[in-house]
């Protein structure tokens, strides 16, 4: 009976995670076109990006073809995502712990992939041997994930609690997130250590999950771990921890978006400029309300100074 609850709780958590994450990502993607607010370095600027240069360094830039690199931003982001380039460069004392936490997350995802692959391969007779190999790989990967993750999350928790400067700048939510992460990773570590063949235990649970079967036998440490992972999945999209998705928008939509006005943009902007403005100062101080375009084009003599 307990297994049924766990299976449904896990599926529920996955559904909440996907639904809320999708909604939030969609909400970010649907934000209106904004004014340019780029910031160097923009790695997509071919041959200039590494020094922070841009196409504006060219004499009469509009007469030259834009030289964009598709690969450089990917390399930049790979360094940023997997080795936390920014934290390494600018906040070295935080880097080891932060890297450990992120390594824990990435390795967990890696271990889960191997577990999933094993599940798929084992469906056919010919894949059974490979499925076993996948589980053999998943086991140490997961162990490393939980070890690094526990160290990272607990270390960051301690650092935030003990460092006076960091403490006063830390929100209650950040402690909760780290605590939850530490619980997830340490429970995983416990589940690994408590079992003689943890990868196969997880495999059993995943099979039960995939088949919506409640009658599986799961050891208590794994039950706790699975429950905490599910809880984490439910919380995750409501927190700033989805910066992994937001980061795409902060970089690609804002900091690296130096695309000059084109026809498509112009059509969008025309619509935005025709929207009414409700701000209470400026032109609206006199009681009249106009659109962005009307205000921008109004005669200077109408300028109001004080309310």
Residue nearer to other proteins on the CB measure, 54 or 69 = 54
Q: What is the DSSP string of 218-262?
A: --HHHHHHHHHHHHHHHHGGGSGGGHHHHHHIIIIIIIT--PPP-
The two three-digit tokens of residue 181, written as one number: 């992460």
In whole angstroms, the minimum distance from the beta carbon of 252 to other proteins comes to 9
Which pair of tokens denotes residue 143?
């162990």
Residues, the chain, total? 307
Within 78-107, which residues bind other proteins (CB under 8 A)?
80, 84-87, 89-91, 94, 98
Q: Which of residues 251-290 bind other proteins (CB under 8 A)?
A: 251, 253-255, 258, 260-261, 265-266, 269-270, 272-273, 275-283, 285
Residues 6+ apart with CB under 8 A from 23: none
Distance CA 184, CA 227 (A): 9
Q: How far apart are CA 147 and CA 101, in angstroms?
A: 9
What is the rounded distance in angstroms from the CA atom of residue 125 to the CA atom of residue 44?
47
Query: What's the angle, vertex CA 231, arms to CA 226 and CA 235, rounded to 5?
Result: 145
Piece in contact with other proteins (CB under 8 A), picked from 116-124, 143-151, 203-211, 247-255: 247-255
Q: How far apart are CB 99 and other proteins at their closest, in Å? A: 12
Interaction between residue 65 and other proteins (CB under 8 A): no
Please report whether residue 60 would count as binding other proteins according to CB under 8 A: yes
The residues in 134-163 that bind other proteins, with binding defined as CB under 8 A, are none
* Least distance to other proteins, CB of residue 229, Å: 21
For the chain, state the CA radius of gyration. Answer: 26
Cβ proximity to other proteins: between 50 and 124 the closer is 50
Q: Provide the minimum distance between the beta carbon of 2 and other proteins in the complex, in angstroms, as a whole number.
A: 30
Give 68 or 253: the residue with its C-beta nearer to other proteins.
253
Cβ closest to other proteins, residue 1 vs residue 261: 261
Residue 124 or 270 having the CB closest to other proteins: 270
* Calpha distance 203→14 (Å, rounded): 18
Which tokens go with 307?
């309310």
Strand (E) or helix (H) holding 90: helix 85-90
Size of the site for other proteins (CB under 8 A): 89
Instruction: Pick the piece of the chain touching other proteins (CB under 8 A) from 65-73, 169-177, 185-193, 207-215.
Output: 169-177
Query: Does 174 participate in binding other proteins (rule CB under 8 A)?
Result: yes
Interface segment toward other proteins; rule CB under 8 A; list 12-20, 115-123, 138-146, 172-180: 172-180
Strand partners, 291: 276
Restricting to residues 12-41, which ones interact with other proteins according to CB under 8 A? 28, 31-41
- Residues 128 and 122: beta-carbon distance below 8 Å: yes
Q: Per rule CB under 8 A, is residue 77 in the interface with other proteins?
A: no
- Binding flag, residue 292, other proteins (CB under 8 A): yes
Both tokens of 272, joined, read 């935005």
Which candidate, 166, 184, 186, 163, places its Cα nearest to that of 174? 166
């Amino acid at each position: 009976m307990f297994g049924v609850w766990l299976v449904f709780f896990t599926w529920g958590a996955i559904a909440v995670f996907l639904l809320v994450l999708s909604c939030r990502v969609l909400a970010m993607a649907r934000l209106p076109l904004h004014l340019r607010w780029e910031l160097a370095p923009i790695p997509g600027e071919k041959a200039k990006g590494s020094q922070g240069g841009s196409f504006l360094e060219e004499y009469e830039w509009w007469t030259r073809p834009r030289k964009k690199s598709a690969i450089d931003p990917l390399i930049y982001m790979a360094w940023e995502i997997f080795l936390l380039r920014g934290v390494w460069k600018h906040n070295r004392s935080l880097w080891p712990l932060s890297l450990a936490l992120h390594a824990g997350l990435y390795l967990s995802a890696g271990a889960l992939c191997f577990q999933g692959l094993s599940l798929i391969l084992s469906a056919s007779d010919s894949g059974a041997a490979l499925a076993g190999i996948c589980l053999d790989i998943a086991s140490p990967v997961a162990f490393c994930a939980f070890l690094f993750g526990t160290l990272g999350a607990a270390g960051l928790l301690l650092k935030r609690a003990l460092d006076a400067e960091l403490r006063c700048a830390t929100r209650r939510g950040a402690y909760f997130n780290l605590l939850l992460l530490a619980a997830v990773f340490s429970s995983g570590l416990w589940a690994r250590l408590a079992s003689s063949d943890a990868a196969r235990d997880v495999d059993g649970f995943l099979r039960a999950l995939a088949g919506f079967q409640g009658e599986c036998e799961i050891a208590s440490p794994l039950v706790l771990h699975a429950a905490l992972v599910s809880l984490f999945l439910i919380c995750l999209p409501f927190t700033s921890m989805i910066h992994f998705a937001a980061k795409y928008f902060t970089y690609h939509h804002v900091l690296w978006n130096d695309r000059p006005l084109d026809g498509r943009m112009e059509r969008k902007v025309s619509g935005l400029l025709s929207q009414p403005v409700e701000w209470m100062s400026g032109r609206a101080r006199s009681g009249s309300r106009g659109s962005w375009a009307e205000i921008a084009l109004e005669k200077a003599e109408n300028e109001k100074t004080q309310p």
